[in-house]
Structure 1
Amino acid sequence: MLKFVMSLMFLMPLCFSWELTQISVFLMSFVFSLMIGHDFMFSFISFGFGMDYLSSLLILLSFWITALVLSSSHKIYKNNNFTFMFLLMNISLLFFLIITFSCMDYLSFYVSFEASLIPTLILILGWGYQPERIQAGVYFLFYTMFASLPLLVSILFVYYYCGGVCMNLYTVLTEASLVNYMWYLITVFAFVVKLPMFMVHLWLPKAHVEAPVAGSMILAGVLLKLGGYGLIRVLPIFSYFNKNLSWVWISISVVGGVIVSIMCMRQVDMKALIAYSSVAHMGLVLCGLVVFGWWGLNGALIVMIGHGLCSSGLFCLANMVYERMSSRSLLISKGLLNFMPSMGLWWFLLSAGNMAAPPTLNLLGEVSLILSVVSWSKISMIGIALLSFFSAAYTLYMYSLSQHGKFFTSLFSCCSGKVREYLILMLHWLPLNIVILNGCMVVVT
């Protein structure tokens, strides 16, 4: 693993060349994809780094989304809008993500988990669109920092009780005391906010709406997956308490997912709608993880990969509309099918992915998650049914309102789409639909 970490470090001084950086990240994602093996065990172990199957898939997703981010941010390159700093922030963010997903030590995981906030914050504040980006940045920073500082205390407690060897930790964490329940809650809370769970999700729509296309794509594509990855790593330590409190997380996620889906139906901002839909999808992921079964774990991982590709593609599409219309409002950006007919196909294909229609990866993941949650409790079928229905409803609402109707009368001419844009959308859609042909590739059982 050290070779990829070091290669990213050596890539940082070369950020003065946009083409070189872009080609390098694509090349690294291709080389890394050749190294993935289906194995439970940690491999490529070196200097505290290593990867198993779970982390290797998320590292590959990080490489892929970052390469697509650089391709879709061509306007920054064209306007020469601090290109060196922009590339440096993206490569730094990728560097911290690779370390987070590959480190084998809880403390270094925490440090790199927190370090990924800094480049993301600079992307939002530096290349955001409206003055409200400062408020969005503050929300993003303080929500995640407030939730994850107790996690640091928890990890230090683990180190204290372990004394170098995690033998007496099991006896400590099977005593049903108030302190141990609090310990479990403060550990899980950091990842739940990052996921984000309903009730602690307010930072996400703000950050997405104010971020540039690069910030939105990397945030939806990879950064939300840090929460799911952290839960997979931490929950086995607290299995006793997770068994007793799983009903709390599932209740909040299912009911919250339905409420957020209804909120999506009244959004007029494209980016806000896609961001709120992420909360509903990640709520299902949380349900699957806390149920603590193989169906839930597999479904959560598949949905994380599928959602990363699909949501990133939708944000990319929203940005293409914004560059032409100078507005993300669904009330103004209507009738896009009239003057961007070929782009309408990509809207349809990625919208189908967002509502988990076949043959997308999201369908495979959501079927696994639904099986997992329904096997936990039959009553949850009501919430899951509503969640699935509204998921299709708000996606169709977004598609039909943006593509159909009378287009904005002050728009006289428009480019339907460039080859670069179609290539980016194809590279989002192709893995999302092709990987399902070999579903065992993304299953950890």
Structure 2
Amino acid sequence: MMKFIFMMLMLVPLSCIKKSYWFNQYMYFFITFMFGLSFSFNYLYMNISYFMGYDLLSFMMILLSLWICSLMLLASESIYSKNYFYNLFLLVMIILLLSLVMTFSSLNLFIFYLFFEFSLIPTLLLIIGWGYQPERLQAGVYLLFYTLFASLPMMISIFYYYEKFHSLDFFFLCYDVKSFLLFMCMNMVFFIKMPMFFVHLWLPKAHVEAPVAGSMILAGVMLKLGGYGLMRLMNIFLTVGLQVNYIFITISMVGGFFVSLMCLRQVDIKALIAYSSVAHMGLVLSGILTLSYWGMSGALVMMIAHGLCSSGLFCLANISYERLNSRSIYLNKGLINLMPMMSMWWFLFSCCNMAAPPSLNLLGEIILINSLVSWSSWTMVFLSLMSFFSAAYSLYLYSYSQHGKLVSNLYSFSSGFVREYLLLLLHWLPLNILILKSEFLVLWL
């Protein structure tokens, strides 16, 4: 594991030297592919060092982080061309990538907590430093205080657990804790990070104000930190979980339905995609809290699928924004007349967002629906409503932005660049090819 950390540390001096845009890009993809080659079918921990290592769950999350960060650099060409402190931007990205890799590869609960909180700082710098509107300061404060509000109780509960059971290693997290207070203190930070309905208001705000790189990393990886943490810690809250998890599953199911309705009245493209993330992650949270094999497997599949699909949609929204200087769905109209090839990508990603075959979203939803209906047949009501409205807002996003009359202020317009089509292809291919080898994702337990 350490050799990949050292390879990423080598990127730090490269960010301080004025190198070409593509050279940095090649280095990121090289590290991603080198890490991908270390895949093993062993279900136990691999590449163990003193406090680092990974199993198949960690491996998929680290690979997703490396892939999304590589694509973030590919999407941020405008920062390079306009020289908006590009070297500093590269440095922040490397720190963010390092913190995410360390979070997912930690074998100790306290080290995991440390890097989990540390990854908040570079994300905050991305939003405040390279955001578009003055409201980005408010979005940064929302992001910071929603997460920090629950992080102190978690730290205290980690210390309490260590004092009581004398170990924080994930391998020894097997003692059943029967305290509901400890359950809430330990897991509330993950509920906020996912985000669960009622504590989700920071997410649309952060997405709308963040640059494209910030939106990609938030949707692609940062939301998955909550799901990953819950998967690791549910092992010690089995007794409490069987008693109280129905409350949080109910909130997520009903909240997912309400958020799907809210998507249908959004006028901001990025806000619509952000609210759809809340609905999808509510499904993931419900699957994890069923404490079943299918729930955990479906959550992993859905997290990877949502990371790629949502990140691709934010890239499409940014491609339109760079040309029209607006995220309003009323001004982004008739784009099929101007960029017919890009319209195909809008259609493909909208289909993935509504879980149409052959995307990985479909596999994730099928497994999660299976786990939730097995848990309680009453969840069928809200699952069917969420699936229907998911298709409704995805079609609304596609048809409203691609069809209709052009706005009158469009005097000049450039079609898509090769870089943009490559960016979208690298999101779409894994999303639709991985379903052919889905046993990698389902048999991780």
- Normalised-by-shorter TM-score class: over 0.9
Aligned-pair CA distance for 1:23: 1.2
User: Which of residues 137, 160, 163 is equivalent to 2:163?
Assistant: 160
Residues 23-422 of structure 1: matches in 2 within 5 Å?
23-164=26-167, 173-174=177-178, 180-422=179-421
Counterpart contact for 1:161–1:168, Cα < 8 Å:
no
Residue in 2 aligned with 1:12? 12
Aligned-pair CA distance for 1:374: 0.5
Counterpart-to-counterpart distance in 1, 2:301 and 2:44: 19
Residue identity over aligned pairs, in percent, reads: 55
Counterpart-to-counterpart distance in 2, 1:146 and 1:203: 12
Amino acid in structure 1 at the alignment position of 2:360: L
Counterpart-to-counterpart distance in 2, 1:364 and 1:25: 29
Deviation per residue, 1:290-348 (Å, 9 max, x gap)? 00111101100000000000000000000000000000100111000010100000000
SS of aligned partner of 1:43: coil
Counterpart contact for 1:162–1:169, Cα < 8 Å:
no
Counterpart-to-counterpart distance in 1, 2:175 and 2:191: 26
Counterpart contact for 1:162–1:168, Cα < 8 Å:
no
Aligned-pair CA distance for 1:222: 0.4
Aligned-pair CA distance for 1:19: 3.0
Counterpart contact for 2:174–2:235, Cα < 8 Å:
no
Amino acid in structure 2 at the alignment position of 1:368: I
Q: 1:44 to 1:256 in 2, by over 3 A?
A: same
Gaps of 5+ in 2: none
Counterpart-to-counterpart distance in 1, 2:142 and 2:172: 39
Counterpart-to-counterpart distance in 2, 1:424 and 1:247: 40
Range that drifts further, 380-389 or 157-166: 157-166
Aligned-pair CA distance for 1:163: 2.3
Counterpart-to-counterpart distance in 2, 1:159 and 1:308: 33
Amino acid in structure 1 at the alignment position of 2:102: I
Amino acid in structure 2 at the alignment position of 1:346: W
Counterpart contact for 1:228–1:285, Cα < 8 Å:
yes
Aligned-pair CA distance for 1:412: 2.3
Q: 1:298 to 1:171 in 2, by over 3 A?
A: closer
Aligned-pair CA distance for 1:47: 2.2
Counterpart-to-counterpart distance in 2, 1:123 and 1:385: 37
TM-score by length of 2: 0.97
Deviation per residue, 1:391-414 (Å, 9 max, x gap)? 000110110000000011121221
Aligned-pair CA distance for 1:358: 0.2
Range that drifts further, 327-336 or 159-168: 159-168
Amino acid in structure 2 at the alignment position of 1:141: L
Residue in 1 aligned with 2:3? 3
Q: 1:291 to 1:411 in 2, by over 3 A?
A: same
Counterpart-to-counterpart distance in 2, 1:10 and 1:114: 24
After the TM superposition, which segments of 4 or more aligned residues of structure 1 sit over 6 Å from their partners? Answer: 165-172
Counterpart-to-counterpart distance in 2, 1:3 and 1:72: 27
CA RMSD of aligned residues (A): 1.4
Aligned-pair CA distance for 1:120: 0.3
Amino acid in structure 2 at the alignment position of 1:7: M
Residue in 2 aligned with 1:177? none
Amino acid in structure 2 at the alignment position of 1:182: L
Aligned-pair CA distance for 1:170: 6.4
Range that drifts further, 405-414 or 370-379: 405-414
SS of aligned partner of 1:334: coil
Amino acid in structure 2 at the alignment position of 1:13: P
Amino acid in structure 2 at the alignment position of 1:97: L
TM-score by length of 1: 0.97
Range that drifts further, 91-100 or 151-160: 151-160
Counterpart contact for 2:230–2:288, Cα < 8 Å:
yes
Deviation per residue, 1:276-295 (Å, 9 max, x gap)? 00000000000100001111
Counterpart-to-counterpart distance in 2, 1:213 and 1:247: 36
SS of aligned partner of 2:137: helix
Counterpart contact for 1:59–1:101, Cα < 8 Å:
yes
Task: Report the number of matched residues.
Answer: 440
Counterpart-to-counterpart distance in 2, 1:206 and 1:262: 18
